[in-house]
Amino acid sequence: MFFRSFFDENLAQMSYLVGCQRTGEAIVMDPARDIAPYERVAKQEGLTIIAAAETHIHADYLSGAREIAERFAAKLYLSDEGDKNWKYEYVAPYAHSLLKDRDTFNIGRIEFEVMHTPGHTPESISFILTDHGSGSTAPMGVFTGDFVFVGDVGRPDLLEKAVGIANTAKIGASQMYQSIQRFKELPDFLQVWPAHGAGSACGKSLGAVPMSTIGYEKINNWAFTTKDEQEFIDTLLSGQPEPPRYFAMMKKLNKEGPALTDNRPIKQLEHASELTDYMQDAVLLDTRHAQLFGTEHYAGSINIPFNSSFTNWAGWILDYDTDIVLLAPQADIENIRRSLSSIGLDQIIAFMEPQVALADTSNLESYEEISVAELRALLTDSSYQVIDVRNQSEWDGGRIKGTTHHMLGTLKDQLQALPKDKQYVVHCRSGARSAIAASIMQANGIKDVKNVKGGYLAWTKEKYPVIK
């Protein structure tokens, strides 16, 4: 058997290529939208991708299952569990099999048995793998999707918080508890292959180790050691991070069927004056480092630096019905497009090299960075309002007296309610998120903004007072 895992650092997402070396057939488990890595490795190994499978309708990234079905005439293996609200709607034109608990199917001599594991979502399933090609009759491992992670389990509150389906969080948590009791009955030696690692918003304390075993999780995973169901429910639902705003769109698109990717070249703009043609209907997205942006940027642009958190904040901040013009080096354009495409932000209509935009000196602006010592002095000045853009759990864990809380992902929707007669200072944990916040505020007409270097960490390092 051939086995290869793939990790998307931007989404903390795991997918897998599994092949039967006897027959040369392969399947991709929980594929990302960019299917080129699977195709490349399959070709290197002499395998033909004949199928794709999903553990559930994903909320945090756009699935590549339809792309694989289209590209390779592959068969789709998808869940048929859950109620009518959680059925795949795009599969009719493709070869497919809709799966129930205990169903089995084969890729070559590799068997996959379906286990219904609701909790994260009603339709969630896991796949137990047995490699008969090696002569084994015992299973090797289980693809758990967003059900069991290393050190944690999937959150059950996304349907309620992200999709807006009321009163589903506690039901999901109870289902998760029951699914775990059944999961415990599987052999301890089975490997656990999850769909996410540390950094994913699909859980609150995911481990950075890419895989585990059922036996190890029984000993070390809090969800396996908690005996009381109500205690389990309370623990699971408490302290979950805010679900990114784009999660609702991902559920919708993955259910209805993601659009096929379009890799046609993106138009390059060569004169700064061309940007004025796009200002009314498009967002100007500058992907440079925050320090460069803060020093000098094109007026009206927002800044999301192209780093490991880029995709997450793009999903929080950008609208799916607004075109995007990138201000980024040409060498980065395809990687940026791939990152945005992974969550369905396909509407990039043009790009411009940053230095070209900066040549128009009549349309440039900047914001000031201040130290925590300067912040401390400004807290007594009633003309300033200090905004903390950290997550709710961070705010609850400790905050600076005199600040107000507007989490970065929801800040844009709250700008109209901010007093018009104030000057603003923004801070976060380290200064990175507040830099994005400063750009959003300036792009929306609040020009007098300062960003705190080092943020809350620098404040506490100086042993300045906090409220807890």
Distance of CA 259 to the CA centre of its chain: 18
In whole angstroms, give the CA distance from residue 119 to residue 157.
9
In whole angstroms, give the CA distance from residue 284 to residue 439.
11
Determine whether 202 is an active site residue: no
Amino acid present at 455: G
Smallest Cα–Cα separation from 10: which of 184, 196, 182, 269? 196
In whole angstroms, give the CA distance from residue 103 to residue 12.
29
In whole angstroms, give the CA distance from residue 30 to residue 35.
11
Helix pair 432-443, 310-317: axis angle to 10 deg? 30
Backbone dihedral region for residue 266 (phi beyond 0: left; psi -120 to 50: alpha; all else: beta):
beta
Q: What is the largest CA-CA distance in the chain?
A: 76
Which candidate in 12, 69, 142, 428 is catalytic? Answer: 428
- Give, as one character, the DSSP assignment of residue 84: G
Sign of the CA dihedral running 447, 271, 328, 341: positive
> Which two structure tokens, joined as six digits, stand for 396?
């609850």
Distance of CA 370 to the CA centre of its chain: 31
Active site residues: 428
